[in-house]
Structures are given as C-alpha cells and as structure tokens.
Structure 1
Amino acid sequence: MDDTSIQTRNRAVLSHLGLARHVSRQENKKGPESADDLFQEACLGLIRGMDQYNPHLGYKPSSYLVRRCRGQILHYRRDRARTIRIPWRLRDLAVNGQRLQERDRHDGKQNLQPKDIADALGVSLQRWEQAQLALQANEVSSLEGVQPPFNTQYSDREDPQRDWLRSALHQLDRRQQTLLQRHFIDGITLKELAETMLLPPSTIKRCLFNAIQLLRGMAAQSAEVVIRR
C-alpha cells in the first residue's frame, strides 16, 4: 500500500472505531479477559477487515467489519484458552522479585531467602509466596497449551497440502471461490450471502456443496492430501 492508501485506510478505521468498541464490550461479558485486551484485538480485526473489504461485493461495511472484529477476539481466546489469568499486581510482584534475585546473583551475592525478598518488596511472606505460585501455575498452563504445528515436516512455504489447496481452489469457478471465502473464512451467513448476491439460499447451499464435493474429488486423487471424514 502506498502512503495515500494507508492514510485513506486509517481514516476509514477511525471512522468505524465505535464498532470495535461495541464488539469488545459485548465480548467482555463472555470471558475473563480485560476490556483493554479485547478492544485491542477488536481494533486489529477492524484494521485487517478494512484492508480486505471490497465495496463492490455489496456487503455493508459495518456488517463485515463487526464479524472481523469478533473473529479476531475469538482467535485471541482460542490461542489463550489454556492460559491461567492472574491479577496484574501478583504478576508484577513476581517479576520484581525475580529481577531482585537476578541482580543479587549478578553481583555475586548468595541467594536471597523468601523472607528477605518479601521484606525488600515491602509485602508479607504469604503475599510473595502467592505471587510465585501464581506465576508458576501460569507458566505450566502455557506450556501445556502449546500445540505442535499442523505439519512438522514443512514450513508454511513448503507445505505441499497448502500448495495443493491453492492450486485446487483456482480450478473452481469464480462464484465457488467467492462463496467459500465469504462463508468459511469471513464468517458471512448463508442468508446474508443470498441477500447480497441476489440468489435464493438454496442456490447458495448447492453451490457450496458442489464446491466442497469437487475439492473432495480432487483430494481423493492426490497422494498429498488426507481426507478426514
């Protein structure tokens, strides 16, 4: 994007910032995440949505951007679903205690006892122990939540299944490609697709079904793709 396009995009994002705030407030009622974190993710979805929004497809920008904001928050929650949330005061206390211990080790001093650390931080021994336990629990949960990559043999650029899918999609007609993108990736409902494309819902369903069947047929003939039933 050139400077003019970026400035135009930024103005459009600012004019729709209320959508991101509205979505983040709604989603804040459904989980333990902070309102600021959710608003930040919603803004990220708003920016990405504005970059990919195509007014010629007939969708209202507000409908499309709301889905992108909500989708970004859902991705954020999915990636952190196994992480334990700890109060920021306990987290900061644990980090400050670790820095204090590292500084003393760097100076060649003996390891501080828990009581000495608590006194240096101006908190009770029980409070310092709570901070340590909370941080350890969070680290363990984060490690448990790490998932192996989809295909450990290949990088993103070398993944043969990804390359096959790109090639297969190009063999579909334009309408099928558009419907697959809008429905399965952008999250637009069948009803909204039917309204914007001026087609009966049954036609949309049939087109999607035929596209998926074609992909399955091509996958069945490829040795690089495993079909999951």
Structure 2
Amino acid sequence: MPIETGPAVDEKEVEGRSAEELLEGLQALPQDDPEAIRIQEEVLELYRPLLYRIARHYSGRGEPYEDLRQTAHLGLVKAVHGYNPHRGKKFISYLLPTVTGEIKRHFRDHTWAVRVPRRHQERRGRLHRVSIEFQQRHAREPGIDELAREMDLPRAEVEELLQASEAYSTLSLDLPDHKDEEGSPTLEERIGGEDDSYELVLERESLRPAMCCLDDRERVLLRLRFFEDLTQAQIAEEIGCSQMHVSRLLAATLDKLRERVDRDETPS
C-alpha cells in the first residue's frame, strides 16, 4: 500500500520559504549556529504531520506507535543533514525513502525472536527512545555510560539490556551464507568447530595427583612461570635468587612431575 503524503506536501512553506530554500541556507551555517538550529526546527515542524502518517502506516505490526514515530523523526533528522539542494531534487523525494528505510531498519533490528526477562522487554522501548533522542541532540549514537545516565540505570544493567535487545531478531541457521551463490554452505555449517581444550582435560587431570608430590617452593615456581608467564629473570627477582638457580629448580621440578606422571600411568 503506498503512503499518502498529502496534497503538495513538498510545496509547503515556512514564512514564504520552501524546505529546499531553508535547507540551502542551512548548508552555509555551522551546525551549532542558532540560526541553523532554528532552520532545522522549522523543517522538522513542517514535515511532522507526514511523519505521523508514515508511522501510522506501519503501526499494528508488533511495534508501539510511539516507537515508530520516534524512528520516523530520526529519519527526518538524517534527511535534513543528508539532503543536497544543489542536485535539483525536491526534499520530499529524499525524505520519504530515508524515513521509510529507517522504519524498516527498526523492524529488522527490533523484533523479539528469543524469550528474554520481562523487565528487558519493558525497558527496550524506553532504551530505543532514549537512544533516538540522544542521536537527535548530538548527531551520534550514545555510549553505554551515556545511556546509563539518560536512563538512570547502573552501567551493568544497561549492558545486560543491550545484550537482551540483540535477541529481538535472529537469523535462521538454514540460510545460505551467500544468498547469491548457488550451493553456498548454510550458517549452521559455518558455525562452530572442534574444541582443542578437550585434549587438555586428560593432561590436566593426570597432573593433578602429581602436583601433590611438589613442595610449596616448587608450586610457586610453576605458578610464576606457567600461569603468571614471568621470565626466569623476573622469577629470580621475585624469590630472591639467581636466574641460573631458577633454571635448575624449574628443570628439576618438571623432571619430578614427569617421573610421577609416568609412574602413575604405568600399569601395576
């Protein structure tokens, strides 16, 4: 169904000036100039009724109307900043695909597909509105700390909410990795692989009883060398001896472990 923009919506004027004329004057001004801000507000007010009609056109599809209005408003802000009046096209011809594209992106990125806690479902709409309002004020996306301040929530809660929001939509694992290539493997075939850590489990379990034969100093040496990744020189400084002595102690400790592991693995 086509969206009805209304009669001659692109020919509306503010104080005798068309949107194209307003935006042409906007290009010559710094973004924080009071006159630039006034012009942007005039254009936003001029096309606000159109935004509401577009939002209503997409309502009833699982998303709150207020969210769709905010998304359409963000599309208008982007259109104001991206429109080039010198190309000779009417602003409305640039505005409509920008706004509808923003709304379609909203549906693509914000559709629950995985069950998440109810508190996240309830807060997601507010998160989206706060994010859009921040983008409208600052012309950039907010960071996590900025969202936390705007929503008066702890940073950890916002991080969890953002992760939950990603569950709003999912991709089927049966989809081909490259849709335009015949015989392309599916996402399921490309995800996952062998975990090399499984082979380490047996080795670690074999070492566990062997570690009991080591004294405290030998355990400290192994911890500093293989867990904290210190060099022999750093270990020498840490325990107060020469690097050569550390080398001898490590070699003796490892030999002791090997001998104990071999003895434990030898059938009686």
Superposition TM-score, scaled by structure 2 size: 0.32
Specify the structure having the higher radius of gyration (Cα): 2
Superposition TM-score, scaled by structure 1 size: 0.37
